[in-house]
Amino acid sequence: MVPSEEYVQRRNARQLRVAPYEKIHIRLGKVRLLLAAVAVFMAWASFRAHSLLPLWMAAPVVAFVGIASYHSRVLRARELSERAVSFYERALARVEDRWAGSGETGERFDDPHHVYAGDLDLFGKGSLFQLLSTARTRMGEDTLARWLLSPSAVEQVCERHAAVEELRDQLDLREDLAVLGEDVGVGVHPDALLKWAESPNQMKPLWLRWLSPLLAALAIAGAVVWAVWGIAAPLVLIVVIEAVFTYRLKKPLEEVLHGTEHVFRDLDLLSGVLARVEAHRFQAPQLQALQRELLSSGVPGSRAIARLRTLVDLINSRHNIAVRILDAPLMYSVQVAFAAEHWREAHGSALRLWVDTIGQMEALLSLATYSFEHPADPFPEFADGAASFEGEELGHPLVPAALCVRNDVSIRGETRVLLVSGSNMSGKSTLLRAVGMNVVLAMAGAPVRARRLRLTPLRVGASIRVNDSLQEGSSRFYAEITRLRQIFDFAGGNPPLLFLLDELLQGTNSNDRRIGAEGIVRALVNRGAIGLVSTHDLALTDIGGSVAGHLRNIHFQDELANGRMTFDYKLRDGVVTKSNGLELMRSIGLEV
Radius of gyration, alpha carbons of the chain: 33
For 266, residues 6+ apart whose C-beta sits below 8 A from its C-beta are: 187, 188, 189, 192, 193
Q: Is the pLDDT of residue 528 over 50?
A: yes
533 closest CA partner among 581, 487, 579, 478: 487
H or E stretch including 460? strand 459-463
Q: Is the pLDDT of residue 31 over 50?
A: yes
Averaged pLDDT for residues 218-238: 84
Tell me the whole-structure pTM to 2 decimals.
Answer: 0.86
Q: Is the pLDDT of residue 21 over 80?
A: no
- Identify the top-confidence range among 184-198, 242-256, 273-287, 443-457: 443-457
> In whole angstroms, what separates CA 178 from the centre of its chain?
11
Q: Is the pLDDT of residue 581 over 70?
A: no
Which residues in 474-493 are b (16+ Cβ under 10 Å) and which e? beeeebbbebbeebbebbee
Averaged pLDDT for residues 99-113: 88
pLDDT: which is higher, 104 or 129: 129
What's residue 433's pLDDT?
96
What's residue 470's pLDDT?
46
What's residue 181's pLDDT?
81
What's residue 543's pLDDT?
67
Q: Is the pLDDT of residue 186 over 60?
A: no
Cα 305 to Cα 264: distance, rounded to the nearest angstrom: 8
Q: With contact defined as beta carbons under 8 Å apart, do 463 and 480 qualify?
A: yes
pLDDT digits (tens, 9 = 90+) for 39-52: 676 666 666 555 55
Q: Is the pLDDT of residue 67 over 60?
A: yes
Q: Which of 156-160, 389-393, 401-405, 577-581 has the lowest mean pLDDT?
A: 577-581
Length of the chain as a residue count: 592
- Identify the top-confidence range among 366-380, 473-487, 507-521, 557-571: 366-380
* Alpha helices by DSSP H, 280-320: 285-293, 301-316
Which DSSP string corresponds to 462-502? EESS---BTTTTB-HHHHHHHHHHHHHHHTTSSSPEEEEEE
pLDDT digits (tens, 9 = 90+) for 358-410: 999 999 999 999 999 999 999 999 999 999 999 999 999 999 988 999 999 99
Backbone φ and ψ of 292, nearest 5° = -65, -30
Q: Is the pLDDT of residue 53 over 70?
A: no
Cα 552 to Cα 415: distance, rounded to the nearest angstrom: 6
What's residue 473's pLDDT?
47
